[in-house]
Structure 1
Amino acid sequence: MLTGMTMVITTTTTTITRTATTIIMTDPVALSRLMTWLSPAFPVGSFAYSHGLERAIHDGLISDRLSLTGWLEALLDRGSGWNDAVLLAEAWRCTAAGDGIEEVAELAEAMAGSRERHMETTLQGGAFVDAMAAWGGERPTNGEGAITYPVAVGAAAARHQVKLEDALVAYLHAFASNLIQACVRLVPLGQRDGVGTLAALEAVILRTAQRPAGSTLDDLGSCTVLADIMSMNHETQYSRVFRS
């Protein structure tokens, strides 16, 4: 028995609120096609090109994961990766609107900064168009001219109702991934460093993919002069593994 004392028991009730999350999924057919078209196994020969990185490694400008990450970030944000994204977006819009892609295709071809860059983008573009025959449909042409790789991908994505934003993310991811794999062999880097580099570039890939949504051809332009010089110097490199 308790005398002169009051015992108070306080009960605390915890309320757990669960917020419903809506997940918006990409069309599975479009996703499957993007994964196929931009897979390293798709027969465009991307494994044969280093985009001038072989020369940059030869000259000691890329020697580890940090220097590689910085180099690729510049290409994606304000170099050839950015220009490819703008050209892809324009080809997508033209095709979606039912317009021809001849003008953007000619401009894309003229944008190649060196002989090897021109070879890299036109041969991959032609190979991509050839491989797309498996999906049937209209074959994009540029008269007697070549179809560059980003223009070919943009036109195909629009014809198959693939969202522009999804096509841009997939293209830029493949662009970076292919160059990282070249450096894994050449620097050399370990596979973990290669994956780490791709993870570090995730934000810039997504950011660059979002920007062309409101872009026009007036937004074309780059300031990665050293990367262009490396591509030009690679043309005369005595011993090399890659075609660019």
Structure 2
Amino acid sequence: MIDALRLMAWLSPGYPVGAYAYSHGLEGAVESGAVADETSLATWLADVLELGSGRNDLILVAQAHGAARTGDVRALAAVNDLALALAPSRELHLETSQQGLSFLEATRVAWPVPALAGLAEALPGPVAYPVAVGLAAGAHGMTLEPVLAAFGLAFLQNLVSAALRCAPIGQSAGTRVIAALTPRVVALAATVPDLTLDDLGSATLSLDLGSCRHETQYSRIFRS
């Protein structure tokens, strides 16, 4: 029970990682017209979840979790380096690195354990957000599967929250989208423990290119 409550706190909108400032390319998709209503939002989110950074992030969470559980500092550093290198634009690199570092700082203060402190010190530079979450969960001895499902759902919820602010999407529609995609989060999370870093890959080129265009977008409210 305590692990479930800890996960809810770590991945809640109120956790001080600055997630509210990022849309992960969604604002650019709204500007281009790719996301204009409930149906197109659900399609865009499903693609990002299953074919893009959603799936990749879950793999990175799992790999960081495993490295933390065994205390393998070199493996953890290698996963983090790869996670940062996978960011396809400056804005998405900022999104993951800023949230990752903020997550580690907040968690080390509020939920300190020796393993977390030692592993965090082994990553002195930028830290990718999924790596930070996997590291903390592993250091706290959490079971992997619930961590993956919770991380995937939080990923969707944050993007739906962004959609409510930048797209013609109401709260009821956003809730329906989350409900519709939750089973797909669970199904995806169930496949991840058997995957490795060799299974990383993305096919969301529209998001990647849109993120680059967002850097010079005339009107915007998000940092990505």
- Pair in the same fold by TM > 0.5: yes
C-alpha deviation, 1:54, in angstroms: 0.4
| Length, aligned pairs only | 217
Is 1:239 paired with 2:219? yes
Is 1:163 paired with 2:143? yes
| 86-95 vs 200-209, greater mean Cα deviation | 200-209
What is residue 58 of structure 1 aligned with on the other side? 31
C-alpha deviation, 1:145, in angstroms: 2.7
What is residue 45 of structure 1 aligned with on the other side? 18
- For structure 1, the 5+ residue unaligned runs are 1-27
Sort the Cα spacing of 1:143 and 1:170 in 2 relative to 1 into closer, same or farther, 3 A.
Answer: closer
- Tell me the distance in 1 between the aligned counterparts of 2:142 and 2:194: 17
Identity of matched residues, %: 46
Higher helix share: 2
- 1:104 is paired with a residue whose SS is helix
The equivalences for 1:32-111 within 5 A come to: 32-100=5-73, 101-111=76-86
- Tell me the distance in 2 between the aligned counterparts of 1:39 and 1:144: 25
C-alpha deviation, 1:188, in angstroms: 2.2
What is residue 134 of structure 1 aligned with on the other side? 110
- Tell me the distance in 2 between the aligned counterparts of 1:179 and 1:142: 31
- For structure 2, the 5+ residue unaligned runs are none
- 1:201 is paired with a residue whose SS is helix
Structure showing greater radius of gyration is: 1
Deviation digits for residues 81-138 of structure 1 (CA, Å, limit 9, x no counterpart): 0110011100001111121111101111101110000000000000000110211123
Is 1:190 paired with 2:166? no
Across the aligned residues of Structure 1 and Structure 2, the Cα RMSD in angstroms comes to 1.0
Is 1:146 paired with 2:146? no
C-alpha deviation, 1:144, in angstroms: 4.1
Runs of 4+ aligned residues of structure 1 deviating over 6 Å after TM superposition are none
- Tell me the distance in 2 between the aligned counterparts of 1:242 and 1:143: 27
- Tell me the distance in 1 between the aligned counterparts of 2:132 and 2:97: 9
